[in-house]
Structure 1
Amino acid sequence: MTVITEGKSMAHSEGASTNAIVELRRYRLRPQARETLIDLFDREFIETQEAEGMSVIGQFRDLDDPDSFVWLRGFSDMPSRAEALNAFYTGPVWAAHRDQANGTMINSENVLLLRPAAPDTGFAPSRTTRAQPGTADGRAGIVVATCCYLAPRTDEAFATFFETRVKPQLVQASATVLAALVTEQSPNTFPRLPVREGETVFVWFSAFPSLAAYEDHLAALAQSENWTTEVVAEMERRTWRKNEVLRLTPTARSLLP
């Protein structure tokens, strides 16, 4: 687990951040600590991070892992990422709450640093109004992140394959494809927060109105001969290990789905 120590805060220039750089952050938590972290995160760490120029795209419970907290954070570019992270992690809010946050975690270093696979495949700016702090959970939507592990320097070809062969099948089976991202290979501009390096990962995010709708989506794909006999076989040829699928449900204040 990485613990950031207190330091002097750095001001960030005003202006809305975009999501040209995205962190997919997956935290391994201590048993029964997830709700404590979610309560703290949704109350203290959303507006305060966005005030430094980054965007909190969404935060989630992993349906298949009760000790995992997953969230997405966006930046306009790598230099501004370093500036925004330095401002937040040396500022008063993190100093006040870091011990409680870090106390919930076993490990916080499972982080993919990503960028849009093509100019129009990133997360669009949210038009949703964020719920107020203290809002009760009760949303039925689900976000599914599919991680495809690629050989080096094959990401552009896989992005084309996804757009031309995979995405049309997903949409036909009633998925809403939110974004398609690939590993950002430039050096980590804030090394005090490690990211996974030496990998090439393509991740697509899909949204569904409910878990039942997602299961219907899977059933529709299974009934598609093109999907089962051609698309899946081609995807397996292009990846070196089985795709990793995260079924994520939003916290009360998440902007996704």
Structure 2
Amino acid sequence: MRRLFPVTYETADHLGREEPRDGEWSLDALADAYAYPPRAAGEPWLRANMVSTLDGAAQHDGRSQPISNDTDMRIFGTLRGLADVVVVGAQTVRQEGYRPARAREAFAARRAAAGQGVAPSIAVISGGLDLDFTLPLFTEPLVPTYVITGSGAPAERIEAARRSGAEVLLAGDDSAVDPHRAVAALAERGHRRLLTEGGPRMLGQFVAGGVLDELCLTVSPMLTAGDAQRIAGGSALRVPERFELVSLLEEDGFLFTRYGRRRH
């Protein structure tokens, strides 16, 4: 893997380590490259991690794995290793077969130094709570699993979530979840380093709500045609929001981009 942008990279020097040149990067090097930016105490930072083909498909046959590669999955694991909590939509949980995040020895010291739990929590956003609460994601996590829904969600489904051991957070009126309130509810519980892995509908809600700070997008050198979803769906913004390129890595034709919200 090689860095294409920025040409000079200050973080590695600051940490007393030399950034690798061409070749496979260690997990430490990837963690340094994707470190969360410093923030004011208690202020959250929401980043998204998605993959897209050259023609804009976020999935193939309903899953993202066919358009990914090994390095993309290493970055996926690194972003999880840095996060306090991973935020996902109910459809993604069902389609991708989500399980609790596992503790990884490679990140143990880094997480302990940052005051994080042994693994990131999973937070599932769902209005109707059409979820199987007997799955290990809810019954066997190393750290609490959160279910974020609206105050009008079916009472019996809220109770089923709580019986499973999940912590239910109400972050909206009726069954709708408000993106600002969802992020704030997680931040109130000490989760400031937020990572969302989709799906496209939920990412679209975060974009429309103006709460997305960063997008880590892998551009896969594949074409799929068809009518697969884009990385973000839902209602279009009245005015497109501009993000700035933070870093760009390349390997085997895959581009690993990192964009941040433009600050005025």
Question: What is the TM-score when the length of structure 1 is the normalising length?
Answer: 0.27
Structure (1 or 2) with the greater strand fraction: 1
Question: What is the TM-score when the length of structure 2 is the normalising length?
Answer: 0.26
